[in-house]
Amino acid sequence: MRRDEEIAMKEQKAALVKELRDRQAASLAAREGGTEVTAEDKAAFDKVYDDIAEINEVLEREYRVRQAAAFVALLWLLETARLKPPPAFTNSYCFDAKLEFLRSHAPKDPTHLVVGSSIAWRNIDSSVISRENQDARILNGGFCGLSINQSAFVGRFLLQRFPTIRDVLVVVDPFDLSACRSKKTAVFNANDVSTYLSGADDLEFYFKYFDLFSLLTNAVGRREVFTRHGDGPLETDMSHGLVYGPAPQPEADCLAGLAAFADELTKSGRTLLVVTMPMQAEWSAKFDPEAKARGDLAGAIHQALAGTSAAFFDGWSNLPVPTADFTDAVHLRWKATASFTHRLLQATRAAASSR
């Protein structure tokens, strides 16, 4: 619509509104004088109403078209400047950035899957697993901020998408098994994400998950970096203190979610290994000096996995990590992850051979 056409339409609307008010005033005066409103007057009222509604619909449609055009132009400018963030499937940048990575670096028939929250994403160096198992093709499917029910949802999604996966490693800490009741299991729309990962035009998802504030914030914010396997390195020498407080008790809903996931993998003939992440020593001294939380977590996981083929390794008890390797109570700086992953592989192999 040209600008002059829009102006003319708005002037027409203003005239119709004036006519409607005049008719309303005349009708009110007629009723006060004891005169009934005629059918012709009612029909005239209805026509004015309909004409105004039609103009409003045209103007609203034109407004939406202009908004859409402006949004597309903004996306084009961000893409040209290499600042365009991914669609806000979850409205969590670190999560959506991982989906964008999987779209642009589609795994080729992975055989091994790492899944879990940010400790699985940040603390595992998948290249070490690949070097020590040359037949393995690793996909790190860890995402930030997941509770175990959400990790299981992501795991199921990736197993369905990549049926070549035969071995699954789940890395957990006490916080991952504590808030499943309050967190929605399906962290994204599986159909939309599957379509997106398959390479469909992403424009429709920018509109469907439109959030201008997030778009602009993420365009100028910190960019996530990924290894070729999908690990999320924390390349920093900084430490942020403990960050995390006392360990909550394992929640029944979380343990049920883990048990269900283990049962599904058992029935599908896949291997599942669940590992607890070692906590930073200062955190343990402050919040778990008698190792009660550590023991409660290990016992709860053992019970959840009972009756399945899944294996459990208590890394928290058996794989201490130097305090200097941590950035907070649970996350490792990247330069420490290769050593940790190597030691984890050695320890879990030794534990498996002794069963």
Helix (H) or strand (E) segment spanning residue 264:
helix 252-268
Q: Is residue 246 part of a domain?
A: yes
pLDDT band at 32 (very low <50, low <70, confident <90, very high): low
Q: What is the chain's mean pLDDT, rounded?
A: 89
Q: What is the pLDDT of residues 295-349, one digit of tens each?
A: 999 999 999 999 999 999 999 999 999 999 999 999 999 999 999 999 999 999 9
* Residue 86 CB partners (closer than 8 Å, separation 6+): 96, 97, 99, 100, 202, 218
Residue 164 is part of a domain; what is its CATH number?
Answer: 3.40.50.1110
Backbone angles phi, psi at 312, to 5 degrees: -130, 135
Position of tokens 């498996």?
Answer: 352
Residues 99, 229: one domain? yes
Count of Cβ atoms closer than 10 Å to residue 284 Cβ: 19
pLDDT band at 350 (very low <50, low <70, confident <90, very high): confident
Residues 126, 226: one domain? yes
For residue 66, the enclosing domain spans 3-80
Can you tell me the mean pLDDT for 38-67?
67
SS3 350: helix
Q: Is residue 300 part of a domain?
A: yes
Q: Is residue 170 part of a domain?
A: yes
Residues 205, 71: one domain? no
Backbone angles phi, psi at 262, to 5 degrees: -60, -40
Q: Is residue 146 part of a domain?
A: yes
* The pLDDT value given to residue 70: 83
Q: Is residue 283 part of a domain?
A: yes
Residues 202, 324: one domain? yes
| Domain end (from 49, 80, 111) | 80
Say which residue, 28 or 47, is predicted with more confidence. Answer: 47
CA–CA gap between residue 233 and residue 227 (Å, rounded): 7
Can you tell me the mean pLDDT for 46-70?
70
| Domain end (from 47, 80, 113) | 80
Q: Is residue 85 part of a domain?
A: no
pLDDT at 35 > cutoff 60: no
Q: How many structural domains compose the chain? A: 2
Residues 286, 201: one domain? yes
Q: Is residue 87 part of a domain?
A: no
Q: Is residue 308 part of a domain?
A: yes
| Domain end (from 58, 80, 102) | 80
Residues 13, 150: one domain? no
Q: What is the pLDDT of residues 260-291, one digit of tens each?
A: 999 999 999 999 999 999 999 999 999 999 99
Residues 34, 182: one domain? no
Which candidate, 86, 131, 98, places its Cα nearest to that of 112? 131
Residues 125, 45: one domain? no
Residues 346, 306: one domain? yes
Residues 65, 15: one domain? yes
Residues 150, 262: one domain? yes
Residues 45, 189: one domain? no
Alpha helices in 162-251 (DSSP H): 190-197, 203-208, 212-220
Note the maximum CA span of the chain. 102
Whether 253 contacts 152, CB under 8 Å: no
